[in-house]
Structure formats: C-alpha cells, structure tokens
Structure 1
Amino acid sequence: MARICALLCALVVCAAAPSSQAAARKVIYIQPLGSKLPKASVDLVKKSLEVFFGRPVRVLKRRPLPRAAWYKPRGRWRAEKLLDHLVKWLPADGQRILGLTASDISTTKGKYKDWGVLGLATLDGRACVISSFRAKRGRARSKLHVRERLAKTAVHEIGHTFGLDHCPQRGCILEDARGKVSTTDGEYDICPVCRAKLRKKGFVLPAKPKIPWRRPRRPR
C-alpha cells in the first residue's frame, strides 16, 4: 500500500530497503525532463544536493517527458509514472536519481484522482521528481525566490528517498508543506532529529553545510 508523505500534498511510495550493492553507490543524478530549465535553477539544485548530502551530483542529458506519463484530462504529467521511468534511467554508479521539470506534475491524493504537486518521492527508494511549475505560485517574489523553493524541494524529496518522513519541526527542510508552496519559504536546514534518523540508517550528512539559500525573512 502506498504510504502518504505530502509536499504540497505529494505522495511518497514505500520501497524495499536498499541492498548492500545499492548502499555502495554514491552518486546522485539529476535528470532534466521536458523543456529546458534555466541553468541557474539546475545549478542551484545541484549545489544544494551536494551541500546537504555530501555526495557527488551529476546532471544527465535532458530527456523528453515520457508520453506514458501524460494525463490528458488535466493536461499534465503523472508523477508516479515518471518515477517508474527514472528508476530505469539511473546509471549503474547512481545511488539516487531526481527528475527535474518545468512542467506541471500530479498524482492521486485521497479522494482526488489527480492532484497537482511540487514533488513526489519513493520512500527508502531510489527516485524522486520535482517541478518548478508550482514553485512559481504562492507569491513568488523573484526568479531567485523560485529557484530557492525548487532547491529546497529537491533536498526534501531526496531526504524522503533516504527514508525520512515529514518532520513536525518548523523550519526543517522535511517539514510538511500542508498544501502550501509558501511553506518552503520558512524552511532552512535539516533539523538535528532528522539528521540523527539518517545516521541510524547509515547516512551521515555534512555537519555544518554552507546553506545555499537565504535565511527566512521572518518567523512564520
């Protein structure tokens, strides 16, 4: 059964624990999908993953969005189907793969057959996907603001693939968005509790990452 872990009402799908062979893989791959994204957006996502997870991050050649993931009734792309393709595209030395697109993505949430999301991840799995489409909403103040939201979403979703659930701590990158893209604006770092959970799973993060985005402007 799918396990729900929402970021702007996104879902996280359960997966089997990683094998010893998978644990030996270290590279996080970014797979651009569809129309070309601004280089500044891709660069900030890449830098953010490097800073927080302490692993090499490589950007793959852009691919078209797979037609099998197209949802014609709403004119957008089904995120869970994108995950199926991303897992197949993960290179042999890859530990995780993050799909990155400017197109709108969606999945099923409760009674809603097709719910637009910022991102979708496989909990304890190998793939996640994020979109800049909704990062532009919710009073986005500038292009930099949108890039920062997207980068935080990337860290959030990769965190799910390493087994982290949503966190109740305000300001933690793993905080539940509760259906609002603006929730990302108050997030800043992965909290000590989430870091401890990752250590227990064998994933040790850099102790004092150089945060690649601005501090929240004010407490929420």
Structure 2
Amino acid sequence: MISQLIRRCIGSLLILCAIAGVAFGGAKSVIRLQPLGRKLTPRQIAAVKRAIIAFYAVDVEVAPRLPLPKLAYYPPRKRYRAEKILDWLAPTVPKRLRLVLAITATDISTSKPPHKDWGVLGLATLDGRVSVISLFRCRRRARSVRHALVRLMKVAVHEVGHNLGLDHCPHRGCLMEDGHGSVLTTDRERDLCPSCRRALERRGYRLPAPPKEIWSER
C-alpha cells in the first residue's frame, strides 16, 4: 500500500515537472561553455552564455580556458578539425551536464563531400552532448565587432539546437536554417521557427518566449 502510494506520488511529481517545463530533465539542465585557445574575450563568452539562456532557459556554466587539442590540428590549412575536437571533448563530459559547447576564435573545418576540408561556423553531434563553434568566420564581411559577436551568438543557439535533436530547417530566417557554407544567412535569422519550437516541445523541452533585443548591434 505504501509502496503504491509512493509510486503514485513519484508519477504525479514527474507529470507536474513536465507541465512546469523542467527543461532538459532536472539534473541534466546545465550546459557548459568550454573556451578553447587564447583569443576569446570574457565579453564574447558572456554574450554566448546570454544567448543560450535566453533561448533555452537553462543554467550555463563557464569552464576554465583550455588549449586547442593538438590532435585536431590540420597542417595543410593551418586550422583545426571540428569533428576531432568533438571526439576529444566527448569523453570529458560529466554525467550531470546536458552538453558541452566549445568556443574558439580559431578557424575550424570538417569534411563536406566533395570537399575534404571545409571551413565551418560550428559542428554538433545531432541529439548528442558536444558541439563546437568558432568566431573566425563570423567576422567575414561583418559591419562591426558587435555584428560578428551577434553572429556567434546565433551559431551557438543553432548548434545547441542540433544537440537537442533539431535538424536543419527549411524555413528562411529560422535559427536552424542551413547556412550552406555562408555566414550571411545568420544576418536574416531571428528566432526558432514555430516548427522547430514544436519539435523541441514534443521532446519535453519547454522554451521561454522569444527574447527581445538580443540581436541588437548597439
């Protein structure tokens, strides 16, 4: 009798938590930002943190800075392979974290047929626990330092979306839109589209209202 009551109470608590929108399932509601390399500033890291909190309503912690892994370096192009950074990062993710997002100012790349080495803004494991973003390409044709930073913030929201299970979105202006190798698509992106929001809600994630003024370049 007592055990049945306990099971009912636990079941009711889980239902209430789901209704209340306990994002990412309680103990794993923390995202860690992992700065890599020496070129990132505290302001840039703080801006990425702010964007993730605004869109996903999670706790975000910032880890001490680490050097870029030597095993990921690609000498022919003098940059770092993004998938090797993820492979290096994945075993280090504590169970208490939902995911780790690495941030660097250095150029990163991956394979994209027919290209053996293709420069990217970021890379994530789909429905996984690791991702990496780079400021390097966000600076291309940027109007200002702030404009490049806003782009980086959008890339962060995009890659975290992949970690939570979102694929690229066909809707123009959605933050999950595929850039097809161009940073310029980020300039028209403002929010997760209704379809992507519903997809996350079906997975049990309760998202806050779309943030206002977060993309201001002032």
Class of the TM-score when normalised by the shorter of the 2 chains: 0.7 to 0.9
Q: Do 2:31 and 2:60's aligned partners in 1 also have CA atoms closer than 8 Å?
A: yes
Q: In 1, distance between residues paired with 2:64 and 2:164?
A: 24
- Structure 1 CA distance for aligned equivalents of residues 59 and 212 of structure 2: 16
**2:53 paired with 1:50:** yes
Residue 34 of structure 2: which of 31, 36, 60 is its match?
A: 31
Deviation at 1:74, TM superposition (A): 1.1
Whether 1:107 and 2:110 are equivalent positions in the alignment is yes
Judging changes above 3 Å, is the alpha-carbon distance between structure 1 residues 22 and 84 closer, same or farther for their aligned structure 2 residues?
farther
Q: Is the 8 A contact 1:97 1:127 kept in 2?
A: yes
* Equivalent residues of 1:34, 1:62 under 8 A apart: yes
Give the Å deviation of 1:210. 3.7
Structure 1: distance between partners of 2:110 and 2:92: 21
Alignment-mate amino acid for residue 33 of structure 1: L
Pick which of 47-56 and 166-175 moved more.
Answer: 166-175
Aligned pairs for 1:103-182 within 5 A:
103-137=106-140, 139-182=141-184
Cα gap change, 1:179 to 1:36, in 2 (>3 Å): closer
TM-score scaled to structure 1, two decimals?
A: 0.84
Q: What is the DSSP-based 3-state SS (H/G/I as helix, E as strand, rest coil) of the residue aligned with 2:165?
A: coil
Output one character per residue of 1:42-93: Cα deviation in whole Å (capped at 9) or x when no partner. 1110000001010000110000011110111111100001001222232332
Matched, 1:87 2:120: no
Aligned-partner Cα distance in 2 for 1:166–1:187: 13
Q: How far 1:146 moved relative to its partner?
A: 0.5
Structure (1/2) with the larger helix percentage: 2
The separation in 1 between residues aligned to 2:129 and 2:86, in whole angstroms, is: 9
Q: AA paired with 2:157?
A: V
Which residue of structure 1 lines up, in the alignment, with residue 101 of structure 2? Answer: 98
Structure 1, gaps ≥5 residues long: 1-20, 216-220
Confirm whether residue 190 of structure 1 aligns to residue 187 of structure 2.
no
Q: Give the superposition deviation at 1:23.
A: 7.3
CA positional deviation for 1:24: 4.0
Code of the residue aligned with 1:192 in structure 2: it is P
Greater relative CO (CA pairs within 8 A, separation 6+):
1
1:211 Cα deviation from its structure 2 partner: 4.8
1:64 alignment partner in structure 2:
67
Shift of 1:178: 2.0
Q: Judge conservation of contact 1:189–1:211 (CA < 8 Å) in 2.
A: no
Superposition deviation, residue 207 in structure 1: 2.7
Matched to 2:97, the amino acid is G
TM-score between both structures, scaled by the size of structure 2: 0.85
Encode CA deviations 1:118-151: one digit per residue, 9 max, x unaligned: 00010000010000010011x2000000000000
Distance 1:209 1:192 in 2: 14
Asked whether the equivalents of residues 173 and 191 of structure 2 are also in contact (C-alpha less than 8 Å), the reply is yes
The alignment partner of 2:125 has SS state of: strand
Q: Which runs of 4+ in 1 moved over 6 A?
A: none
Query: What letter is aligned with 1:100?
Result: I
**Structure 2 letter corresponding to 1:122:** T
The alignment yields a C-alpha RMSD, in angstroms, of 1.7
